[in-house]
Amino acid sequence: MENILLVLNIILALVLVLLVLMQKSEGGALGIGVSQENMMFSKSAGNFMTKATGVVATLFIICSLALTIVSRGDLTPSSSVLDQVEEDTPTIPENNN
């Protein structure tokens, strides 16, 4: 189950990156100057890409949480380093005055 979730998480991450990179830049600083008549960057395609990005991002977060919950059972409880330190307190040498 953990391997399936891991592969799904990687696929969702790649799809999410591709969806973000395919969207039209609205900031202007990185805009390439492609015309609005292009099918990929039209208004309806932008709305679809925005919705698809939201859906894939939500699935990615859910898959990441599920992967964390499933893999949590494999962890062994660990003790603190302070628990392993000896309880002996060092003695302070006395002044020889």
State the pTM of this model.
Answer: 0.60
Mind listing the pLDDT tens digit for each residue in 4-28?
Answer: 999 999 999 999 999 999 887 765 5
Mind listing the pLDDT tens digit for each residue in 75-89?
Answer: 766 676 666 665 566
Q: How many CB atoms lie within 10 A of CB 64?
A: 14
Q: How many CB atoms lie within 10 A of CB 76?
A: 4
Domain spans in the chain, listed from the N-terminal domain onward: 1-23+43-73
